[in-house]
Chain A
Amino acid sequence: MAAPSPIHGVVADFDSPDTLLDAVKAARAKGYTKMEAYTPFPIHGIDEAMGAKQSILGYIVLCGSVTGFTTAILLQWWTGSIVYPLVISGKPFFAFEFGFPIIFELTVLLSAFGAVFGMFGLNGLPRLNHPIFNYSGVAGSSDDRFLLVIEASDRNFEVTATRDFLASLGAEKLEVIEA
C-alpha cells in the first residue's frame, strides 16, 4: 500500500460570515492555534478572533516614503548644485520651495510601491499553488462560501477529532485536504 499523502489540514465549509466567525472563536476556545479562513471578502473582526497580529505593512510603506523623500532631495540638490549648476532666472541652485513638488511626488510614488509590493511580499504573492486549491469546493471561497481550515501543523490536530469538532460547529461540508 502506498504511503498516505501528507495532510495540509481539515477544511470546513460554512454558509455565512457569522457562522464562520463563531467557528473561529470556538476553535480558538478549543485550543487550536494554526488555522486560516478563506472568504470572498474581508470579515470584520476575524483577525481578533483568530488572534492574528496587526499587519506590519505600514512600516514597509514608511521605508518607501523615507527613501522617496531623501532621493528627491538628493537628486535635485546634487544635479542642480553639484554636477550641473546652471543659473536660470537668478533662481538658487537648490531650494526646498521649488523642490517640494518633486519631493512630494517621489515620496508618494515610493510609498505606493511599498504598499503594493509590500502587500505582495507579506501575502506571499504571486504563488499559484497552495494546498487550499486541492479542496474540491475552493471556488466557493471567492463567491459565497466561508471556509475555515485547521492545519495539520497545529499541535492539537488529529484528523478525525478535528473533523468531528468542525462538524459540530455547523459546517455544511468537510474535507481533508492534501498538502
Chain B
Amino acid sequence: MANLTFDPKDVAQLSPSLVDGRPSLHDVTEAVSIHTEIETHRNWYIALAISGSVTLLLGSMLAYLIATGIGVWGNNNPVGWGWDITNFVFWIGIGHAGTLISAILFLFRQKWRTSINRFAEAMTLFAVACAGIYPLVHVGRPWRAYWLFPIPNADLNMWQNFRSPLLWDVFAVSTYATVSALFWYVGLIPDLATIRDRATTKLRHTIYGIASLGWRGSATHWKNYEKAYMILAGLSTPLVLSVHTIVSFDFAVSIIPGWHTTIFPPYFVAGAIFSGFAMVITLMVIARWVFKVEHLVTITHLENMNKVILATGTIVGYAYATEFFIAWYSGNEYEKYTFINRAMGPYAWAYWTMVSCNVISPQFFWFKKLRTSIPFMFVLSIFVNIGMWFERFVIIATSLHRDFLPSSWGYFRPTIVDILTFFGTFGLFITLFVFFTRFLPIIAVSEVKGMMIQAEHEKHYLPATTVSTEPVKVH
C-alpha cells in the first residue's frame, strides 16, 4: 500500500512560500510603506537625473520630429512603417503582462500574484504611455490627433471610418489605457489610506488623504470594493486579449503577404504576455533588491513567472513554425517568397536574432536550477525583451521591404532620430517608475495581508502534524 503520510517537505511543495519569514501584519505595512516615508536617498536623485535626462532627449526628439515632419525617421517607401510601429507594438505588448497578473491570475485565484500585481500594473500603465506616443506622432500632425475620435467638430466635417482596423486600434488602446489606470487606482486606494494613516506631517496627511478619497476600510466599503475589483478583473481579462488581437488586426486585415494571416491574434497575444513577463522579471529582480522586499517577492514568484515565460515562449516558437508551414502549404507564391526572404534575405540577421532569443533561450527554463537562479533569469529576460522587439521589427520590415514589383524594393535603415526616440522612451518608462517607487506603495499591502490570514485558515485543512501550529503574529 502506498504511503499516505505527509512530511513537511510535501506540504511545502503543495503550498510554496509566498511570504518568507513569518512577518506580522504590521511588519508588512512597515516593509512596504517605509520607502515612501524615509528621507529621499541620494541614489534616488541620481536615478532621476539619469532617467530624466533620457526623457528630455525623448522630448527634444519629438519636438524636432513635430517641427520638421516624419521624414526625419527612416520610414519611406516601401517601408512606411518602421521603428515607430515596431516600438508601439513592443511597448503595448509589455503592458500585457501587468494586466494578466492583475486580472487573469486574480480570476484563477493564483495567490502568488498578490505581491507582484501592483508593480506589474504600474509597468502596464507606463508601457502604454510609451506606446501611445508612437501612433500619436506618427499621424504626422499630432495637433490634429483628436480627429481619430468621433468628436463632432467643424474643422473636420467628416466622420471616422469605422471599417478600418486602425480606428479599432484607437478605441482598443485608449480603452486599455483607461481601464488599466482605473484598475490600478482602485487597487491603490486602501494602501494610500494606510500611508495617510501613518503620515507624520499635515501635508502628507492631506495629500494621501485626498488621493485615498477618504477610504475608511469599513465592511461596506470592502463589500463594494471587492465586487468592483472582481468585475474589473472580469472586464480586463477579455480586454487584454482583445487589445493585442486588434493590434494584430492592423496587420492581418491588410493583404500584405507576411501580414495577412489568421494566426496573428493568438500569436500576438502569446508574444505580448511572453515579453511582458520578461520585463516584469527584469524590473522585479532589481526592485526587490533595491527596496529590500525579498521576503514578499520570493523566489517562488520569480519561478512562476519564468514558467509563464517558458510556456508562452514555446507558443511563440510554435507560431513561427506554423507561419512557415502555412506559407508552404497555402501554395501562394508571394506568401512563400516572403517567408523564405524573411529567413534568408537581407533581414536574416534580424530573423535569427529573434529566433535565438525567443525560441531557444526560454527553453533553458525547463531546468529548475536555471529558473530559480536570479542572475540567469535576469540575463535571459533581457534576451527575451530583445527578441520580442526584433519579432515586431521582422514582421514589419521583412513584409514591407520587398513590394510586389522588384522596382520598388528597398531596405529600411533607422535614422539617429529613430534610435534616440526609442532610447528616450526607456527614459520615460524608468522615470515614471522612479516616481512610482518613491511615492506609492509598490506592493499591494492590503492584499498581501488578506492572503496571509487566508493562508493561515487554509492550513487547518491540512494534516495537523505536518504544519506549524504557530499562528501568524498579528503584532
Residues of A within 8 A of B (CB): 15-17, 36-44, 46-47, 50, 52, 55, 57-58, 61, 75-76, 79-80, 83-84, 86, 88-89, 91, 98-99, 101-102, 104-106, 108-109, 111-113, 115-116, 118-120, 122-123, 125-130, 132-133, 138-144
* B284 CB within 8 Å of chain A: no
Q: Which 9 A-B pairs have the closest CB atoms?
A: A119-B228, A139-B197, A126-B213, A41-B450, A79-B159, A144-B25, A101-B168, A42-B222, A84-B159
Contact A116 B218 (CB under 8 A): no
CA distance A52 to B218 in the complex (A): 12
Contact A142 B197 (CB under 8 A): yes
- With A58-B227, A79-B159: A39-B219 Cβ-Cβ less than 8 Å: yes
Contact B242 A58 (CB under 8 A): no
Contact B453 A102 (CB under 8 A): no
Residues of B within 8 A of A104 (CB): 238, 242
Q: How many A-B residue pairs lie within 8 Å, measured between CB atoms?
A: 191
Which of B66-74, B186-194, B312-320 contacts its partner?
A: B186-194
Residues of A within 8 A of B145 (CB): none
* B216 CB within 8 Å of chain A: yes
Q: Interface SS of chain A: helix, strand, loop or mixed?
A: helix
CA distance A61 to B228 in the complex (A): 9
Q: Which of B159, B178, B216, B445 sits near A132, CB closer than 8 Å?
A: B216
Min distance, Cβ B98 to any Cβ of chain A, angstroms:
16
Contact B25 A143 (CB under 8 A): yes
Contact B150 A123 (CB under 8 A): no
Residues of B within 8 A of A (CB): 24-26, 29, 150, 158-163, 165, 167-168, 171-172, 175, 178-179, 182-183, 185-186, 190, 193-194, 196-198, 209-210, 213-228, 231-232, 235, 238-239, 242, 246, 249, 445-447, 449-450, 453-454, 457, 474-475
Contact A57 B227 (CB under 8 A): yes
CA distance A44 to B179 in the complex (A): 27
- With A79-B150, A119-B224: A52-B171 Cβ-Cβ less than 8 Å: no
Contact B194 A108 (CB under 8 A): no
Contact A108 B175 (CB under 8 A): yes
Contact B158 A105 (CB under 8 A): no
Contact B239 A108 (CB under 8 A): yes
Contact A75 B150 (CB under 8 A): yes
A-B contacts, 6 listed (Cβ < 8 Å):
A40-B194, A40-B449, A41-B190, A47-B219, A55-B224, A106-B175
Contact B197 A101 (CB under 8 A): no
CA distance A143 to B198 in the complex (A): 9
Contact A108 B161 (CB under 8 A): no
Residues of A within 8 A of B168 (CB): 101-102, 105
Contact A101 B249 (CB under 8 A): yes
CA distance A69 to B216 in the complex (A): 34
Contact A108 B179 (CB under 8 A): yes
Contact A115 B231 (CB under 8 A): yes
Closest to A20 in B: B219
Residues of B within 8 A of A122 (CB): 220, 224
Q: Which of A80, A112, A143: most chain B Cβ within 10 A?
A: A112
Closest to A78 in B: B159
Residues of B within 8 A of A101 (CB): 165, 168, 171-172, 242, 246, 249
Min distance, Cβ A129 to any Cβ of chain B, angstroms:
7
